[in-house]
Structure 1
Amino acid sequence: MVIRENVLRKYQEIQAVLDEDLRITLSHLEMEERAAVLALDGMMEKTCSLIQEIEQDQARLTAALDQTETDPDTMSFFSYSEQPDVQTTDRVVDLLNRTDPSSVRLDEAKTEQMLSLTNNMLVLIRAQTPIMRKLIQSYSSEVRLDPDTAHPKLIISSQGDSAAYTDTWQQLPDLPGRFDTTLNVLSLQGFSFGRHYWEIDVTGKTYWELGVTYPSIPRRGTTESCWLGRGEESWCVEFFDGEYTAWHAAVPHQLPFTRRFSRIGVLCSFPVGLVTFLEADDMTPLFCHCAVTFSDALHLALCPGHDHNGLNSRPVVICNTSAPTSLP
């Protein structure tokens, strides 16, 4: 009887692991699907715009040709009409290239990894390690914060893995790359291809901002675009007084979460143009920004916020999760 109960309990535990893994995996697949749909919608809008321009060019050419039939003096002006319109031809070729189904690339690398992980499901069940956690953590990249970008009221650890607010304005070199108004700091490393993942510990904090940014983000003065997510150059999630908000291009997205998370994951994927924020303990997506393509290298960006009378004095810490050497 005891053996029966133990076996039943073990299978129930396995089922719970599989159910949780299925939930997380499906949520990420849905996120990828939304990104693909947005990318295709963008291609369709560009295609419609090009078609309209080509139709307008065609109408102008038809009107001009009609005019030549009634006005012989214009024949010499349109003597080139027997030759193809090079600009229109180039646009048609460009349109065909943009709408060629073979040019829509699927995320083959992730698909192969998913298939490999699926084939080893028994190993994962035995280890009780969810697929998506293992996959995302395989993209972990180590970064160090660049103290030359940090606001003078931020203390950057000697290892470059944490940032904390201090009420004292530090006497630091007035470098052009240093934020002088917003409490931001960027990573020393920038990334321009592949997939990259970081986890940041925000335990005990009442205010923080985490995200990624192009190096072109404004850093001087009081302009709002210096804040993370307020310009086209950056994407972020902000936590303030119990509320979570995602930002990009000054557009806020209120998030339906009330629990105070202790560790946030940031995942950027160049192949599909995604910036995803996750609750790192169970890999639940918080918000996904779809950029389709990135135009520059991305740097991790952190803002630990003011201390709020001592309630927000703890630093934000990059956990630098080591990427697994191999996937089971």
Structure 2
Amino acid sequence: MVLLSLEMLLKHQQHLQRQRHAIAYRMKKLAAKQVELTKKTNAVKEKISKKYEDMKRVLDEDLRITLTHLDTEHAATTKFVEERIEDCYHLTQELDQELSNSGSDFTHLMGGIKISNYVFFLHLPQNAVTEKRISETLKLTDPDLIQMDDFKSEQLLSLTINLLLFIRSQVPVTKKLLQSYAADVVLDADTAHPKLIISPKGNSATYTDTWQDVPETPSRFDTTLNVISQQGFSEGRNYWEVEVKGKTYWELGLTHPSIPRKGREEDSWLGRGKESWCVEHFNGDYTAWHGGVQHELPLLAGKQFTRIGVYCSFPGGLVCFLGADTMTPLHCFCAGTFTNTLHQALCPGHENEGTNWNPLKICDVSRSAPIL
């Protein structure tokens, strides 16, 4: 009997040892995966950084070429003006000399002839400078005849403005990409808590103190102010935005359809169970939730956003939240692999002492204003 017990104990120890080796090997594989993920992320960051450097070089070179053209034209025009100034200067020198000579002649003549002969002096011809040359010089040096090619300059400026507008329409590139994953989100009124008013189009949820006369269904939340989307998704990538302007309390995120709908358990709150992920805003503070674990976001305290974006990648197992106004990252969860269909979910919150009556509105992502 003792030998049997020892044999069983030995087998148990061997089993535990094998399990330990398996767990240790798994830890080694996970560490290798971590290194692989870091390398891949750094490689992508490096490639993107190089492309931005290339764009900067292209823009810097184009700026250099454009300014050089303007400088070349300006130099030619300036040189022409300087030459005309020089012409006028030389002419004034000659006139000064002529005036000086004329003054000497006048003094000499006045000393050697009678006043009666003064008329003869007035009709003496000019020896060095003629009226014709003065007239031609004044004509050729008229400032109004020297013009810049303003039309070409305006065209250059216009093309530069158009380039800037195009770049602004394409950045942030993250927003441009996420817009391509835009989802049509329609809220399911049959899941909404009775104190929520869902718009006829299913694109907004508003809290009311009045308990709505709505059918009692198994899918309806009865203790939390939640509502989820009609359609779920189980592949690809999905992005949606919610307008939170003027609100002091809200929650929004994603959930599996298995989230509890009834009773007083906190699991029915968004992010409190393993079925859902959310970001919560309350009186200026932001918190991310999943599986009942609270993630404080102190760096966001006091910040106000007009829109909140939620991005989900089934291939990457990611749920990411961001301030869509400026594409500011709020928090990102990695689920590894999603086990079921996901639905968009939101909670507009209670009235919060009269400060939170505004609805949560689903946004048309394709009409998002460009970030300047």
What TM bracket, shorter-length normalisation?
Answer: 0.5 to 0.7
Superposed displacement of residue 193, structure 1: 0.7
Residue 239 of structure 1, aligned match among 281, 291, 297? 281
Deviations 1:25-74 (A, max 9, x none): xxxxxxxxxxxxxxxxxxxxxxxxxxxxxxx979749xxxxxxxxxxxxx
Structure-1 residue corresponding to 2:257? 215
Structure-2 residue corresponding to 1:163? 205
CA distance in structure 1 between the partners assigned to 2:282 and 2:13 by the alignment? 56
Residue 167 of structure 2, aligned match among 97, 107, 127? 127
Identity over aligned pairs, percent: 57
Matches within 5 A, 1:130-279: 130-256=172-298, 257=300, 258-279=302-323
Asked if the contact 1:141/1:320 (under 8 Å) is kept, the reply is no
Task: Note the aligned Cα RMSD (angstroms).
Answer: 3.7
Superposed displacement of residue 310, structure 1: 2.5
Asked if the contact 1:180/1:219 (under 8 Å) is kept, the reply is yes
Change in CA separation of 1:58 and 1:153 when aligned onto 2, cut-off 3 Å: closer
CA distance in structure 2 between the partners assigned to 1:319 and 1:124 by the alignment? 26
Residue 365 of structure 2, aligned match among 310, 321, 324? 321
Superposed displacement of residue 221, structure 1: 0.9
Superposed displacement of residue 307, structure 1: 1.2
Asked if the contact 1:209/1:236 (under 8 Å) is kept, the reply is yes
Q: Does 1:283 align with 2:320?
A: no
Asked if the contact 1:107/1:271 (under 8 Å) is kept, the reply is no
CA distance in structure 2 between the partners assigned to 1:58 and 1:193 by the alignment? 43
Deviations 1:208-252 (A, max 9, x none): 001100000000011110100000000000001111000011111
Superposed displacement of residue 322, structure 1: 2.7
Change in CA separation of 1:195 and 1:107 when aligned onto 2, cut-off 3 Å: farther
CA distance in structure 2 between the partners assigned to 1:60 and 1:321 by the alignment? 58
Deviations 1:236-286 (A, max 9, x none): 000011110000111111102121211100001111111000010121110
Asked if the contact 1:107/1:272 (under 8 Å) is kept, the reply is no
CA distance in structure 1 between the partners assigned to 2:367 and 2:182 by the alignment? 5
Gaps of 5+ in 1: 1-55, 62-87
Structure-2 residue corresponding to 1:84? none
Asked if the contact 1:140/1:323 (under 8 Å) is kept, the reply is no
Structure-1 residue corresponding to 2:157? none
Residue 339 of structure 2, aligned match among 281, 295, 308? 295
Q: Which has the higher contact order (CA 8 A, sep 6+)?
A: 1
CA distance in structure 2 between the partners assigned to 1:245 and 1:148 by the alignment? 28
CA distance in structure 1 between the partners assigned to 2:182 and 2:367 by the alignment? 5
Look up the equivalent residue of 1:193 and give its one-letter code: E
User: Residue 288 of structure 1 aligns to a residue in which SS?
Assistant: strand
Asked if the contact 1:180/1:220 (under 8 Å) is kept, the reply is yes
Structure-1 residue corresponding to 2:75? none
Deviations 1:140-197 (A, max 9, x none): 1111000000000000001100000011101111000000010000001101111100
Superposed displacement of residue 125, structure 1: 8.1
Residue 311 of structure 1, aligned match among 355, 366, 372? 355
CA distance in structure 1 between the partners assigned to 2:183 and 2:328 by the alignment? 20
User: Residue 264 of structure 2 aligns to a residue in which SS?
Assistant: coil
CA distance in structure 2 between the partners assigned to 1:270 and 1:245 by the alignment? 23
CA distance in structure 2 between the partners assigned to 1:195 and 1:312 by the alignment? 32
Structure-2 residue corresponding to 1:31? none
CA distance in structure 2 between the partners assigned to 1:60 and 1:213 by the alignment? 42
CA distance in structure 2 between the partners assigned to 1:138 and 1:124 by the alignment? 22
Gaps of 5+ in 2: 1-9, 60-162
Change in CA separation of 1:273 and 1:60 when aligned onto 2, cut-off 3 Å: same
CA distance in structure 2 between the partners assigned to 1:284 and 1:142 by the alignment? 23
Structure-1 residue corresponding to 2:94? none
